[in-house]
Structure 1
Amino acid sequence: MTAYEVAVRAAASLGEGPTWDPAADRLIWVDVLGSRVHTYDPATGRRTVRTTDQHLGAAKPRTGGGLVLNLRDGVGLLDPDGTFRWLHHEPVPGRRANDAAVAPDGSLWAGTMRYDEAAGGGTLSRLTADGAVETVLPSVAVSNGIGWSPDGSRLYYVDSPTRRIDVFDLDGERAVNRRPLAEIEEGAGFPDGLTVDAEGCVWVALWDGGAVRRYTPDGDLDRVLLLPAPRTTACAFGGPDLTDLYITTARIGLDRPHPVSGSLLVVPGAGKGLPQPAFAG
């Protein structure tokens, strides 16, 4: 078993989306079905919890402060003073937000999925600061992990039921030439959230796999972190040096969840992450 620590002991139904906010030296993560945005300052131990009016898939920092939220009915902006407004409002019955990530150019790539996880019911879209929306993938099942190579030439993406981490080439703002980078074998779980490290390797959390795996840019598996919580959901590097790997977990659907299921875990000194840009809006 991997040497890990419990950064925040919690009982999140569906912990997701860890993101290091360098401007505030804190980690942001969400409980999707608990409709909560959590923050954690590892230097002081200070924590905050904010409840949203809807289920949310992700919360990311903005360049001017505050957060951009991938919510059930669209993408919204939360100002530092608590003021909320919609950037893009598009409610679809039976659909909710899932994972999202900020691209090197400051745009938000936001995923959706149906509550019943029906094939083709989800999307991946790109949103700019002025609220312009471009549909990147119009028909996915469970839109999950999103990340970019260090040089910005590649996009990594997970539609969980496919059991694959896919890679695209980036032609300007367009993602082209989709192909598999790696496939998760039967019985090892489903790929969920991911992050890319400074060496260009892809770390992916495995739902029902109790693990985080690291794949090289060529798709070779070169490291496995085994964890006691079976539903590991996402991972991100954080801390002042971006060397600590934070991992979110879930309790939903488990008859006998492990005591740390739903908590935020951390593996100190796991590697070296990339600075994550803030949303330009």
Structure 2
Amino acid sequence: MHRNGFLSLAILSSVVNLAQMVNIERLSVDGITLGEGPHWDVKSQSLFFVDIRGPTLFKYTPATEQIVSIKTGTDPVGFIIPVKGKKDHFVIGEKLNITLIHWDTTSNQIVSKEVLDTLPEPSTNRINDAKCDASGRLWLGTMTDGKDIEDGAGSFYSYTKKGGVKKQLKKITISNGIATPTNNEKFWEYTRYGCLA
């Protein structure tokens, strides 16, 4: 992700199968200050992503080349993930909150917002990135919120509706590039100092 006014993202042109080739295109969006959290939604054939500092949610549909965006408020937003089986419902990370949002992407209005849980972190931190695994668990990481990134100030969490938030790792500097395979056997996360698997 780039901070210089545009965002370059990988757009997958078809359902990703590791054995098949994919077509990667560049998407430039003017005005983004800190793009993050790309999530390809197979069902809608759309790419969702955020501008952390915006704080803005984006939906890009390659078939129509349409970009829809909406501001979420004043707190930094670290990720957006569609809720399976619920049209226009998303889980987003706002500052330290895990929030369920109903964003009608047709009328481009936020219909409702509900804070599901809040991470037990200092107010100087924020959520940076997140992904769901094949079981529907949300995995997310925090980091220092601001220009001066403090080494080891963040943590790595899991979240389920039944179990709430659970701290999995501490002393994380930056959680980024989170990925989970479909079999849940391994987990990848890029941190400032290397990868966890």
**Mapping 1:216-231, distance limit 5 Å:** none
Which residue of 2 is the match for residue 37 of structure 1? Answer: 57
SS, match of residue 27 in structure 2: strand
Q: Deviations over 1:199-226 (max 9, x none)?
A: xxxxxxxxxxxxxxxxxxxxxxxxxxxx
Q: CA deviation at 1:131?
A: 6.0
Structure 1 residues 23 and 73: CA distance shift in structure 2, 3 A: same
Question: Identity of counterpart residues, as a percentage?
Answer: 27
Q: Distance in 1 between matches of 2:115 and 2:152?
A: 25
Structure 2 unaligned spans of 5+ = 1-22, 105-110
Coordinate RMSD, CA, aligned: 1.9
Which residue of 1 is the match for residue 42 of structure 2? Answer: 22
Say yes or no: does 1:49 pair with 2:58: no
**Mapping 1:139-158, distance limit 5 Å:** 139-158=171-190
Letter in 1 for 2:156: L
Preserved CA contact (<8 Å) 2:133 2:181: no
Q: Which structure ranks higher in relative contact order (CA pairs < 8 Å, sequence separation ≥ 6)?
A: 1
Structure 1 unaligned spans of 5+ = 168-281
Which residue of 2 is the match for residue 75 of structure 1? Answer: 98
Larger radius of gyration: 1
Letter in 1 for 2:135: D
Say yes or no: does 1:94 pair with 2:124: yes
Letter in 2 for 1:67: F
SS, match of residue 44 in structure 2: coil
SS, match of residue 187 in structure 2: strand
Structure 1 residues 25 and 98: CA distance shift in structure 2, 3 A: same
Which residue of 1 is the match for residue 82 of structure 2? Answer: 61
Q: Distance in 2 between matches of 1:32 and 1:11?
A: 12
Q: CA deviation at 1:70?
A: 1.3
SS, match of residue 98 in structure 1: strand
| Alignment: residue pair count | 163
Preserved CA contact (<8 Å) 1:145 1:158: yes
TM-score where L is the length of structure 1: 0.54
Q: CA deviation at 1:135?
A: 0.7
Q: CA deviation at 1:24?
A: 1.8
Q: Distance in 2 between matches of 1:5 and 1:141?
A: 30
Letter in 2 for 1:50: I
Q: Distance in 1 between matches of 2:101 and 2:115?
A: 9
SS, match of residue 79 in structure 1: strand
Q: Distance in 2 between matches of 1:4 and 1:59?
A: 21
Preserved CA contact (<8 Å) 1:88 1:131: no
Preserved CA contact (<8 Å) 2:157 2:166: yes
TM-score where L is the length of structure 2: 0.76
Flag as ranges the 4+ runs of structure 1 deviating above 3 A. Answer: 3-6
